[in-house]
Amino acid sequence: MDVIYIMWLRQLKKYFRSKSRIVGSLGQPLLFLLAFGFGFGAVFKKAGAGNYMQFLAPGIIIMSVLFTAIFSGIDVIWDRQFGFLKETMVAPVSRFQIMLGKTLGGATVASIQGVIVFVLTLIVGFRPHDLILLPLGAIVVFLVAILFTSLGIALASTMEDMQGFQLIMNFLVMPIFFLSGALFPLEGLPKVMDIIAMLDPLSYGVDGLRFSFIGSEAVFGMTTDMVVLFLLAAALLGIGSRLFERIQV
Amino acid sequence: MSYNIDHGNVITVSNLVKKFGDFTAVDNISFEVKKGEIFAFLGPNGAGKSTTIKMLTTLLHPTQGTVTLNGHDTTSDKNGVRKSIGIVFQDPSLDDDLTAMENMEFHATCYKIPHNTRKSRIEEMLRFVELWDKRDELVKTFSGGMKRRLEIARGLLHHPAILFLDEPTLGLDPQTRNHMWSYVKDINEKEGMTVFFTTHYMEEADRVAERIAVIDHGKIIATGISSELKAKTGAESLEDAFLTLTGHKIREEEASGVDRMRMMGRVWGGRRR
């Protein structure tokens, strides 16, 4: 238990100490909110789909959670580069505890990032539909954070260095974001896009958060969203720790 | 010199082999280290030193053979081994974004040092390496020598039976180097801690080590006390003995993935730090 806590605490301390990283990581969501939110707002309204900023905000919050979570997981590579991984690998504690502490820490950091972006959306005009449903949104955010931090650790465990990083960004993280319905409604899409969106884990996060935040009809249903996110988070936590255990420094 | 007093063996390596594909990095080596001994493990670059140390410290699985440390087998009882050893790695292994104190606390937690003695033990060790005044400063502000001292303090924190030092004095000035060895010898004498170290400085091995093993091309080619190695090769100094044993040819070591990435990190210039 102590080990999980100290790993968690380490992630948080590192996050709060890198102020430039926090500020830097707010640039992208802000740009997306301004460019898309205001840029497509008029068209969206004309199409009779309502207020685009309201629609977009949950998607952008989930986006920042996705990116922060993946990076927190991929951190393992930096630990390897700067040698700290060896210190944890020779310690007489189970690999699973180390991995779990790191995942919870990364997921907490990603969730905090989500909260900061949430505040940002409030500033640009987003208004949550029902305050009572906000805690539900928080659960969705945390599940998404756990899922993608574990994925990051799983990927990092199989990588020797940063060579494959660009590949992961372009062929995994970006598609997961863009095809999830974070930016557009999932209704009335071509069949292929429909199937892809259904296979994209992030779609369920976006759907769940949109339901909690703006009271929109959940495309997959809130229960489905929660169950899928929970199962995937658990599965990736398992896979991540298996791969993490196999790391040889 | 206490090497000839038989306290029993604290490290027993038998028929140890490590293969990476077709390449045999460690080729059927066997040796023992006695309890309380200061043991030097020497060899040119790429001879198999680091691979052996990694197997001894549970970081790599041997292809064949067994290693017993302080009564624990390195493959079947990893945690038993891990509790028994302290390590100062060749490359820094501190978290630069944490303070000296936080690095020590992290270690203390991982090694389950009881809460009631934790604070005092950390203070004792930080004072021992003269870093107590710097305890709340981030490690990234430390010089190379200070980092090394902190790593030694950390490696000793949990009273290990065996201390591994992998080229601990690389890049240190003579003052720091001398200091470091006086700490280590001090604990070696006071607590009977065994020390297993590698170095490229032959005069250092000559001065500090009670017994020496020389490895080359994955095989142990000589063991004994310094004077035995010199007598065996008819050399004046340990350096000459070493060169006679291992030849004058310069060894090339292929850069590992980590080395390559360290380079990349430098090029990207503190993306994260």
* Chain B residue whose CA is closest to A161: B261
> Is residue A92 less than 8 Å (CB to CB) from chain B?
yes
Cα–Cα dist B273/A79, whole Å: 12
Domain ranges of chain B: 9-268
Q: How confident is the model at residue A187 (pLDDT cuts 50, 70, 90)?
A: confident
Residue B119, burial from CB neighbour count under 10 angstroms (0-12, 13-18, 19+): middle
Q: Would you state the structure tokens that stand for residue B66, as one six-digit string? A: 């067994």
Considering only CB atoms, which chain A residues are within 8 Å of B83? 92
The pLDDT score that the predictor gives to residue B231 is 87
* DSSP type of residue B173: -
Nearest to B60 among A78, A88, A248 (CB): A248
The pLDDT score that the predictor gives to residue B139 is 96
Cα–Cα dist A232/A148, whole Å: 10
A72–chain B nearest CA distance, Å: 12
Nearest Cα to A62, choosing from A6, A4, A118, A10?
A: A118
Cα–Cα dist A172/A51, whole Å: 30
The pLDDT score that the predictor gives to residue B269 is 45
Q: Would you state the structure tokens that stand for residue A43, as one six-digit string? A: 């068209």
The pLDDT score that the predictor gives to residue B116 is 92
Domain ranges of chain A: 2-245
Considering only CB atoms, which chain A residues are within 8 Å of B58? 90
Q: At what angle do helices B115-128 and B100-110 cross, to 10 degrees?
A: 130
The pLDDT score that the predictor gives to residue B209 is 94
Encode pLDDT of B6-60 as tens digits: 458 999 999 999 999 889 999 999 999 999 999 999 999 888 998 999 999 998 9
Q: Taking the model in full, what pTM does it have?
A: 0.86
Encode pLDDT of A54-111 as tens digits: 999 999 999 999 999 999 988 888 888 888 999 999 999 988 999 999 999 999 999 9
Considering only CB atoms, which chain A residues are within 8 Å of B154? 87
Residue A90, burial from CB neighbour count under 10 angstroms (0-12, 13-18, 19+): buried
Cα–Cα dist A109/A162, whole Å: 22
Residue A87, burial from CB neighbour count under 10 angstroms (0-12, 13-18, 19+): buried
CATH number for the domain formed by residue range(s) B9-268: 3.40.50.300
> Is residue A248 less than 8 Å (CB to CB) from chain B?
yes
> Is residue A48 less than 8 Å (CB to CB) from chain B?
no
Q: What SS3 state is found at A81?
A: helix
Are A248 and B257 within 8 A, CB to CB?
no
Q: What SS3 state is found at B138?
A: strand
* Polymer length in residues for chain A: 249
pLDDT averaged per 10 residues in sequence order, chain B, 273 residues:
57 95 93 95 90 92 95 94 93 93 96 94 93 96 91 94 91 84 91 94 91 94 90 87 84 60 52 41
The neighbouring-strand residues paired with A13 are none
pLDDT above 70 covers a percentage of chain A that reads: 100
Nearest to A3 among B96, B110, B154 (CB): B110
Cβ atoms of A56 and A33 within 8 Å: the answer is yes
Distance from the Cα of residue B102 to its chain's centroid: 23
The neighbouring-strand residues paired with B16 are B29
Interface test with A, best of B151, B196, B258, B267 (most A CBs within 10 A): B258
Distance from the Cα of residue A115 to its chain's centroid: 12
Q: At what angle do helices A95-123 and A134-157 cross, to 10 degrees?
A: 130
